[in-house]
Each structure stands twice: as C-alpha cells, then as structure tokens.
Structure 1
C-alpha cells in the first residue's frame, strides 16, 4: 500500500501461478526437505542399482505425486529413474511410453533389464498404426506414430505416462502435441524427460509446463507476458524473447522440474558411460531382407567348419551394414533434434559412411569425414574445424582408419553406428574424445540391431571387453549380463555358433597378425575403401587373406 502511494512506482501483480507455487513457502508450511519414498514394492535389482542422485530424483517425483519434468543432463540415467518412478505407481498401469522412433526398442530392453518382474510378452512396442495401443502392461510408441493412430484409440486414457525427449512437444501447433494432449489431460502421473527442455527460448517450455501442471498457467498469454517479454507488433504478438528468468527457474524447480548437471554429480559417475541402443531394421527392402536371411542360414550351415563360418559372418556383416542405414540416420537426426550439437559417429563400411555424409549434406548439417582415403595432411585441418566450430557438427569416422592419432574432445558423445569384433579398436576410437583436455563425462552409444550379424558380434565384443576390464585395460560399465541377455538366442544352435565364433576369433588373433585381420575385413568390404593401401597394392597379401578365409 505504501509503494502504491508513490506516483512514480507501478505495481505489477504477481501471476496466480507464482503465488500458487510460493504461497506454502511464504507461509512457512512447507520444508525444503524431500521425504524418502518407500520403494520396497519395486524390483530390488532396480532400486539397488540407483546412484544416490538418481534415488533423489525418484524421491522428488514421488513428492510431486508422479508429475514432473526430469531435466537431468544427458548420460545421468533419466531412463532408469523414469522406470523406477513409473514402477512406484504400478498398480495404476497399463503404462504408456512415448519416445523418438529410434529408441522405442531401447526402452523395451530397459524394461526387461530393470523390471524382471514384468513379463517380456507384456511389453508392447507399437510399430504400425493398426497395432493395439493398449496391447500390453507396458506400451511403447513413437511420437510420429502416435500422431497417426486412430483418434478413438489414442483418446483411451492411461493413468501413467512417460514422455521421453519431451521437448519434441515444444510447439503446440504440431501433430505431435495435438496427439499427446488428450492423453496428458487425463493421466494421473506424467513423467517428462528431457536434457534440453527449452532449446532456445522460454516459450518452448510452456507446453511441458501445461502437461505437468496445467493449473500454473492455463493461458499461454499470461505465461508469455511474464517470461517471454511479449511484444505487440503490427502482425501480432511476439513471444520469442525472455524475461524474469530467475523467477521462472525458481518456480519450475519448486513446482515441477528437477535438473542436475554432470558437473554437480561428477563424483558419482564413471568417466565413460557406455550404453546399448537397440535399433530396428524395419523398413528395409525385400532384397536386403532376403540377403540377411540367407546369410543367417549360411552361418548356421557352416557351424562345423571354421573357415566357412568366418566367411559367412563377413558376408552377414556386410549385409547388416545396409540393413542398419535407415535406423542409423534416424538416430543421428534424433540426437541433433535432442540438442547434441557435436558428436562422433563411427562406422566401418564405405556404404554406411557415404549414406551418413550424403544425408547430412542434403539436410545442410555441417560434418567432417575421415576415412582411409583422407590424406594425413588434411586430417588435422578437419579435426581443428570440428574442435573450434560453434555450429552443430558431426564427425563421421571410419572405425579402422580414425581410431587413433586424432583428438576431438570438444565432443562428449560417441555413437558406434556399426560394431567391430575387436574391442581394442573400439576403445581406441572412444578415446578420440575421452582423453586429456576432456572436461565432461563421455557417453558412448552402441547401435545394435536384432536379426543381424550384431546378434553374434555383440556377445563376442562384450566377452572381450570383460577380459580387458579384468586386466585393467577397459572401463566397461555396460551392465552387460542384463543388457545382452536378449541377444543370446535360446536356440541351442545359435548359442553353439556364438561360442564357436568366440573361440574361432580368439584363434584368429593368436594365429594371424592383427594388421592382416583388419586388412582382411576392409578388403572384404570394398578395396576402394582404402585406396593406396597394402591390400590394394599387394596381390600376394590379398591372396593370403582370401586363402585364410577360404575364398
């Protein structure tokens, strides 16, 4: 009242949402302590695996009645926290998870890993618009497919929702948001996950606030006026600015958002975090599908002959490259949309490297490429361009040609688009970013596709990683037994093939010079992948390779 009496002072009333959030604190009726949630009903294998800050995240979610925006930095385990939060409300399931298309099957694997009490056949991944959205206890769908589902089916309510990469909902005019809104309106528990909840401006947060706590700002105009520096222009209102950001941050933290940075929980994290991303080969053409099937059959037929098995795996490996291209590009684009501006993508086959760089070029995304044909003099220039650019940039690298001798630590994410059976080579590739000068924890993502040569390569790689770890040469922290279980077929014949390959390639490494083995794989792929290499120049060496593999 006293301020109002001063002529030069204007008093602007606080928005109702701000008063709603802070009134309990102003009255002293709420403590800042978040109570410990009772997680005794959740699978112990999950709760025992939570790091202290992840347990704090679950406690925060329960204190907010299962309605929150979990905005932790990438690599801090938002997925495992979300699964634990959802499991706390398991009596209210069925559960719906909405995620980018490229990680639908990774979510399914995560539920199998962390909640063994959920039967695998009750995890329903929706792959077509005609699939039943409520076909399982856990239902997983992509944003884009959700927007194409039958409206009546979508309107059928779920009590518990997980929206992964929730900034995909930032634009309220998109089909994504319009499809999600009916579900969000009726859900009792809404768990939004995003390491980058607002990519560039406060207005992008509004849809996520509306999803979690609609009573805060029922009208966008009120939010925009307070936090977007709303201005009326000749063509209408402009909400692209920002204002009162300190107040907005406090309000979000108090009411619905939890965000921790890697630097804040560094002591609880390994320096290098590896994770398996299960991708699908859906959508491949009939020719590639037939080639994969034939290669798998040839592998099974040759299980009693080491040379035939090696040859069959190499053929399978080549067809796998072609089959994964669509999923690889989808994942790279999702990473860019999720705000990962600089990262490395390692691949082996020339056709994969070509496909990646072609699509990045067509979409106007900056990239560098280093493979066996890149002259030594140009490599450092390319590395410098990647290191010092302020724009989004993807480093597209050959596993065998760029696994050493270069430094790219301005990135903190490495994506392996393809596997390679020598884990030592992949560890060297990882260390292009995990080296002196790196100030962040490093995330390593391995893209693995079922029904391909990855089914055989991945168990072999993990076994070798485990050996390297035991002798102190690798920092493997993959939760390997749980994550790889689904890649070990129950079929005894396939198990025998895998076991024989593990022995077989151990023998190869004992009997054969390592450089020769790498050249063999490259020669099998495409001699032009390494122009000027010894493989191309030395027919006698190539004959030795072909003789070794029985060709």
Structure 2
C-alpha cells in the first residue's frame, strides 16, 4: 500500500465526473455509509470505520459545494444530487447518534489523517474522477503543540505558595527541553490501519501465553529494598528491568501483588524525580505511606484541594483525579521525571475530562524529558472492563500509540515480521510487539502460590413480601415497554418481518442501548438502574443480618454495597446486633477514611467494615478479614474482583470467601451470571487462555436483552 508522502497514482489532470453522471461518487458513498451504519448498530465502530466515517463526511461537503457551483448541471439534476447527498448525511447523523464519539469527526475544521486522505483519493479514483498532482500527494497533518490547560479551565488554576517559593529558589530560567517528536518514517505498513488489528490480536488470545514481557531474573540479593523490608521475586524482576533501562510499563498484576511498592521503587531505581502519582482519592494517604516506607530518604507531599499544604520541594507529588484539573498549570511545568497513574482503568473513557488531563500531562512530560524517555507506569489489575479497546487510553498515556496510529517504534517492530494484517501470523506477532513495550501481568497463582484460595458463593434470598412483588411487577412492565419498541421497529422494516425467524438479537441490543441512553439512576419511572437500586434496598437488611451471623462464626467481615441508603440500613441492623462497625465512603476526607481502615485492621473490637463498592473497591488493604459480603452487585466483573481483592492479597493467611446476596427470581440473578461471563475478556486478552469472549456489550445491555427474551 502507498506510504505517507507518496502519490497514490501517476495520473494527472483535473477532477471531472463521468459523462452524463454529475456525481459518480454517490453510489460509493451510499455503499460505504451503510457499512459504517451496520457497525454502529453492533455498538462498536472500529478505527477503520471511523476513518470511513470521516472520509464520507468530507466528500459529502466537497460534493455539495461542487454541485452547487457547477453551472453545467441542470437545476433538476442538481436538486436530485443534493437530495441524495442529504440522504447520506442523514445516515451519518443517525450513525453518530449511535456512537457519539463520531461527532468530532464531523468537524469541517478537522484535518484528515494520512489514512483518510489516502482513502478519499482511492474512492475518487474508483468513481472515475481525475485528480491533480497536488491532490494526489498525501500530507501529514501538522503536529500540534501540547496544550495541558484547556481555555475553559484557565480561571480555575491555582498555584500554591510553596510552588512559587520553589520557582524563586531556582536562580535560572527553566530551559525549554521540548523536542519535536520526529515524524513517522515511511515503511511498508505506513498505509495500513493498524489499530484495529492490534486490538484484535489481544481479543484472539495467545493459546496459553500470558501477556507479560520477558523480565530479567531477580538479583540474588535484594538490592532495591530499604533495611528491614523484603521484596517478593516478581517485584524485584520488574525493578531489575527498570535498572537496565526499560521506561514504560502497563503493570497489570492482579490486585494484591504490590504494584504500588514496585512503582515507588521504580522511580528510585531510575532516579526519575520528581515523580507525579495520579491516584483515586481513597488511596492518597496510603500512597504517601508507601513512599515513606519503601523510599524513606525521599520527601512526599499529598495535594488536597487548592494545595495550600503542598511541599513544593518534595520528591513525590500525590494528587487524586478529582482535584487534578485545578493544578494542571504548575504540574505541567515542574519538570517531572516520572508519572504513575494508579487504577489506570479510570481513564479508559477518552471523552472524560480526567482522561484528557492525564493524557495531556503525560504528553508534556514525554516532550520535555531529554530523550523523550521519562518513566511512565500505568497500574491496574483490571485494564479491561467491557472491550479490548479499553486499552486505548492506557496505550496513549504510555506513548505506545496516539489513538489512531502505533508509535514509530511499535510500527518498526511490526514491520520486522514481514507480515501485514492480511496474514494470519500477523496477530500473534502484533500481540508480542505490544507486550514487549512493557505489559507486565502476573497472577496470584503464578507468584504468590502460598496465598490462600478464594471462592465466590451465591446466596439466593426470596423477596416474598410486598416489595419483592412490586419489583417483579416492575420488571415485567419494563420488559413489555422494551418489547413494544422492538416490535414497532420490526414492523417498520420494508417488507415486514418473519416471526418464524426468531428474535433479532442485534435489534434487541439496539433497543436496549437506546433505553440506557434515556435512563439514569435519578430518572422518574422504572428503568434498569432504579430497579437494581430497589433490589439492593430490599436485600439490605437480609445481607446485614447474614453479615452479623458470619461475624459470630468467622470474625471480621467486609460488607460492600453500591448505594448510601443500603449502607445506612446495614449499619443500623449491625448496630442493633451489638456490633461495632467502621464506614468507608466516597464523601470522607482521606484522614477519616484512613482512620477507619486502621481501626478495622488493628482494633479487635471492630467487627465489620461497611464499604462503598466504588469508593473502597480499589487500593485498600483489608486483609484482617477473610470473608466479604456483596450486598449489591456491580455492573462489571472488574469491580467485583477489585472488591474481593481488598481481602485476598499479600498478607492474607486464610481462605477467602465472597458471599453474593442475590434476589431470587429477579434480574439480580441474571446480572450475577453476566458478570461471571465477562471474566473471559481479561482471561483471554491478558492471561492467554482460550476462554470464549461471550459478548463485548455491557452488562446493562445484556440484562435488558435477557428481560425481552424472557418476556417473549
């Protein structure tokens, strides 16, 4: 395929339509727009079809302007062509409504990529158009200077007093270390869309090969730990790789295997200070403790609110996602030598502000570090939630891709194979190439064989009171509403539909996605969110009562719920049973939360930690208990596993059991089943198993489809 900077053809001349056809490109646009629309109905528009979408929008604009300005076309022909172009534009708008991330590609000011330019030329040549020499040249889009602070956040920026003191303490002006990252060299894969094949390489698995780079052997003597502490061999292996010069890591070890300690020591080994750690609010204090524990010679500061207490002369700066937007200006110029993103799956949504802030900071750090090689680490035991494309933001943070293309280094590695995405052998090579950039994945079974086993046990409970009956009635009502919409869409099809053909699952998923887009936990009326919340409220007392029984037989217990009112109800039941509890919630200050954790871990009189599934499901160590009660279910397998792994981690000496309280004969039991099925994604992509990936849809969509199928 042609490379960037080359010409797609040696033909020259002006661009003219075929005789007697004022717009020969239209049939091509109509065919291509239907292809993209079909992908959007399935809920996944991959990189290749995103390029198609952009090219269609570009050519529709060009054709509309050309037709309007061509005096040789009759008024009748002009009106007919414009009508057909409007039809294509309507399909584009409908497709963008299915996948709102496509809206940005409709921007007429957006510069088309090299791949989009090439596709545009190929379609025009296919239509019989003649292109000028200038049009045939593929132009690389100009590289834009990184902007860390968006204009709308400029007024919110704060500069702590200590930071000003640090600037004054430096008698020299800060040198401009920014370097222009060289443009990608031409190679035989430069004309290929490579992002979709890279994702597919992980989706297909690897026949038993775990997704972890080859790490050097751990030194015979622990040369990394301070006196009195000892690393496990798997931790020392990663640090040895850092000592030998590796600088980017997706550290995807299972929760509980000491990722924080590895990243803290990695900065010390690489001498990559100052270090910026972006972490969830719930673990800020714990991060500071880990820095002091593993690198006692280093100063650490935690950024709260507007940063009045920041020690600007510290070596390690810890900031949580929620306050990051206020500190972008000074963080982007402090000159960090390393950056760590903890619980990196938090940035998977590229449209969110926190993802954009994290990616802008990482780009700035890369550009301003001599050699463009800072230490960058993404920590997450659950990098994949619903789809392999959840890798996208993490790979961008690490500089492995820019979201549309692999980095020049990764592409060169792919070209060493001599294969293209058309070859079956390309995919295992592509997977290995990405892994070698720095994916490190170790499971507890592999590296902590002495860690006790864990199991998930389901406890179905009957909601046979009035509340239970109303929940089941609401489920039936929701299912009928969805079926009515589904049947209406079936009947609107040309030629009707054949009822004997069975349910149209793709159309059902489309109905389910539309229902979710119009629903929210706070909406009036019944939807899947309010229904699940009512189920949680109905289970609260039963789950708390079972927790009290567990305490009497096994000791300390961790109780998880999603909603505050469920936590409140459980705490009241436990208090009535004479049990002391601590609460870990999202609205607590870091100090209050850490005090609750310490009390649960060390005070024998504290029996139960009542935890928010979202606020306490990551980064905490609660291994004083070996039993977990899940009173409410999460929407993802990852969140459930994260919650259980607050207990099942290094330091645990007993077998761990997670008790899921399920409302029998309701959607609750189906959600549990779907959560379990989603575990196959990480197992296949990261651990190399041949487990089948059942669906890339969210649990919510699959749950609503289940309601419709059951009602049918």
Report the TM-score, using the length of structure 2 for normalisation.
Answer: 0.34
Larger Rg: 1 or 2?
2
Report the TM-score, using the length of structure 1 for normalisation.
Answer: 0.43
